[in-house]
């Protein structure tokens, strides 16, 4: 630390790691059984003390069984099935949330009880849907892969049709509820949150003694390191100020920003069926695509084309028809309406977007539609990467619906290589998108 400015761990680090490693890993039993003949509404939550400081944080979790919702529901009848500390060296709020879900599915699989799990962690729900219902595969070298493998094993025994993960808003009050069902969600989620916080505090006195010593040592080590780092910075500044003057560099040239010019001309096409397109891809899917495309184009005075990615167009088509688009099987284009036994989920989302892009290009070419195509950033708040896009005067409301659907599937905006879009599940049909 003195010579290089490297921060040192506090002297209590070893004892703190030994304390976490010594936490019991035995699975606690359920306080009340799950009902095997009906759906069980279970609220899970995690709590983490000092979550902003990775060196001293510790977490706990809770699982609460809620009374079934009905028109005459009143607050009460909540049963805490289990609430305990998070075992292991990794202590985070996300892992505590995930452990509560894994614990619930473990007992649900043993008791063959359908469960509807309510959690306020969108990251857990998104990853669960990608692993269970999407094409995403578990990477055993990623963090928390042990808990995800536990979840996958439990779902395989119970059956994914008997498991449902639902999102509930976090840290809401009953006064903010707009309906009785919203009050039901808020009450039990707050109940699970308080149970997790109480479980985190209900630790032996010896634990808190070690934790208090470790927290003080961490604060002292951070204070010493800040003094040493300030000394290093001061020495560096003095050397730069009194050292040999560096030769002046020429100002860097300003790089011109590339402009993407939009263009869209529909031509004389009136919307009639395109023979080549129908012969190659099938009449039914061609008619769906033509009807959908003409309904989405806004040809009004003052409406300019915008850049829309092929991913957005593909999701728009799925939300409109509930159809996965054309598939390429054994060098032939097939329609799932004609072959319902085909599972579109077995094909990678990136590959299906590529096929849909070829389909649209074939339609544009035969209809003599002139639209600019470029690798650019589309009009989207979630897709912020440079992806293949086309300029079309698209319906703004449809783009907004696609954005809402993407927001339920990804936790962070799509940037750089757009890898976050490669494992999206199939989009179900949306009533608001019908044409």
Strands 264-265 and 370-371: antiparallel
Tens of pLDDT, residues 368-387: 999 999 999 999 888 989 99
Residue 51 lies in a domain: yes
Phi, psi of 57 (to 5 degrees): -75, 150
Element holding 222 (H helix, E strand):
helix 205-242
Residue 308 binned pLDDT confidence (cut-offs 50, 70, 90): very high
What six digits make up the tokens of 9?
């761990």
Tens of pLDDT, residues 313-329: 999 999 999 999 999 99
pLDDT at 97 over 60: yes
pLDDT at 243: 58
- For residues 178 and 304, membership in a common domain is answered with no
DSSP SS3 for 123: helix
Residue 393 lies in a domain: yes
- For residues 61 and 181, membership in a common domain is answered with yes
**Residue found by looking up tokens 């989009």 in the block:** 427
pLDDT at 307 over 90: yes
Order the strands of the 115-119 sheet from edge to edge: 79-85, 58-65, 40-49, 115-119, 163-167
- For residues 201 and 270, membership in a common domain is answered with no
CATH code: domain of residue 142: 3.30.420.10
- For residues 385 and 272, membership in a common domain is answered with yes
Question: Which of 206, 221, 237 is the C-terminal boundary of a domain?
Answer: 206
pLDDT at 244 over 70: no
Question: Which of 206, 226, 242 is the C-terminal boundary of a domain?
Answer: 206
Residue 60 lies in a domain: yes
Phi, psi of 228 (to 5 degrees): -65, -40
- For residues 420 and 303, membership in a common domain is answered with yes
Residue 217 lies in a domain: no
- For residues 200 and 311, membership in a common domain is answered with no
pLDDT at 245: 57
- For residues 279 and 169, membership in a common domain is answered with no
Tens of pLDDT, residues 170-188: 888 888 888 999 999 999 9
- For residues 56 and 201, membership in a common domain is answered with yes
DSSP SS3 for 264: strand
- For residues 336 and 410, membership in a common domain is answered with yes
Q: How many domains does the chain have?
A: 2
What six digits make up the tokens of 41?
């509404």
Residue 312 binned pLDDT confidence (cut-offs 50, 70, 90): very high
Give the distance, in angstroms, between the CA of residue 275 and the centroid of all CA atoms in the same chain.
Answer: 41
Residue 296 lies in a domain: yes
Mean pLDDT, the chain, integer: 91
DSSP SS3 for 175: helix
Inter-residue contact 221 to 10 (CB < 8 Å): yes
- For residues 202 and 285, membership in a common domain is answered with no
Tens of pLDDT, residues 24-42: 999 999 999 999 889 999 9
Give the Cα separation of 313 and 116 in Å (integer): 32
- Containing domain of residue 295, as a range? 264-433
pLDDT at 346 over 90: no
Residue 258 lies in a domain: no
Residue 234 lies in a domain: no
**Residue found by looking up tokens 């680090």 in the block:** 13
Residue 39 lies in a domain: yes
pTM for the predicted model, two decimal places: 0.57
Question: Which of 159, 185, 206 is the C-terminal boundary of a domain?
Answer: 206
Q: Mapped to the 3 state alphabet, what secondary structure does 340-399 carry?
A: CCCCHHHCCHHHHHHHHHHHHHHHHHHHCCEECEEEECCCCCCECCCEEEEEECECHHHH
- For residues 303 and 429, membership in a common domain is answered with yes
Tens of pLDDT, residues 355-370: 999 999 999 999 999 9
- Lowest mean pLDDT segment, chosen from 1-10, 75-84, 146-155, 234-243: 234-243
**Which residue from 61, 30, 43 is spatially nearest to 184, judged by alpha carbons?**
43
- For residues 34 and 176, membership in a common domain is answered with yes
């Amino acid at each position: 630390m003195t010579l290089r400015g490297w921060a040192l761990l506090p002297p209590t680090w070893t004892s703190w790691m030994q304390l976490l490693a010594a936490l019991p890993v035995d699975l606690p039993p359920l306080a009340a059984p799950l009902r095997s003949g009906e759906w069980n509404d279970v609220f899970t939550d995690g709590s983490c003390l000092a979550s902003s400081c990775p060196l001293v944080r510790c977490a706990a979790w809770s699982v609460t069984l809620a009374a079934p919702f009905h028109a005459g529901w009143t607050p009460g009848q909540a049963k805490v099935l289990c609430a305990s500390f998070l075992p292991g060296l990794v202590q985070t709020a996300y892992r505590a949330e995930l452990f509560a879900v894994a614990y619930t599915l473990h007992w649900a699989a043993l008791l063959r009880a359908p469960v509807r799990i309510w959690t306020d962690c969108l990251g857990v729900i998104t990853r669960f849907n990608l692993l269970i219902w999407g094409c995403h595969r578990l990477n055993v070298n990623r963090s928390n892969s042990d808990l995800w493998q536990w979840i996958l094993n439990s779902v395989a025994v119970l059956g994914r049709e008997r498991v449902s993960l639902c999102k509930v808003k976090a840290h809401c009050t009953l006064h903010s509820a707009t309906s009785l069902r919203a009050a039901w969600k808020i009450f039990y989620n707050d109940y699970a949150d308080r149970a997790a916080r109480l479980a985190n505090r209900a630790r032996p006195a010896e634990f808190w003694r070690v934790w208090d010593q470790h927290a003080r040592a961490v604060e002292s080590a951070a204070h010493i390191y800040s003094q040493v780092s300030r000394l290093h910075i001061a020495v560096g500044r003095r050397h730069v100020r009194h050292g040999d003057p560096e030769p002046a560099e020429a100002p860097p040239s300003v790089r011109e920003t590339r402009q993407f010019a939009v263009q869209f001309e529909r031509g004389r096409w009136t919307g009639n069926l395109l023979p080549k397109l129908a012969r190659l891809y099938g009449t039914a899917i061609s008619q769906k695509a033509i009807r959908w495309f003409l309904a989405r184009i806004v040809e009004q005075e003052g409406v300019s084309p915008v850049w829309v990615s092929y991913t957005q167009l593909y999701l728009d088509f799925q939300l409109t028809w509930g159809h996965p688009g054309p598939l390429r099987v054994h060098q032939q284009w097939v329609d799932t309406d004609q072959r319902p036994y085909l599972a579109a989920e077995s094909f990678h989302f990136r590959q299906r977007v590529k096929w849909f892009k070829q389909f649209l290009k074939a339609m544009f070419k035969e209809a003599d539609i002139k639209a600019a195509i470029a690798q650019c950033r589309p009009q989207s708040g979630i897709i912020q990467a440079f992806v293949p896009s086309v300029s079309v005067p698209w319906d703004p409301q449809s783009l907004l619906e696609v954005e809402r659907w993407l927001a339920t599937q990804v936790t962070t905006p799509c940037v750089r290589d757009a890898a976050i879009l490669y494992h999206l599940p199939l989009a179900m049909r949306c009533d608001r998108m019908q044409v």
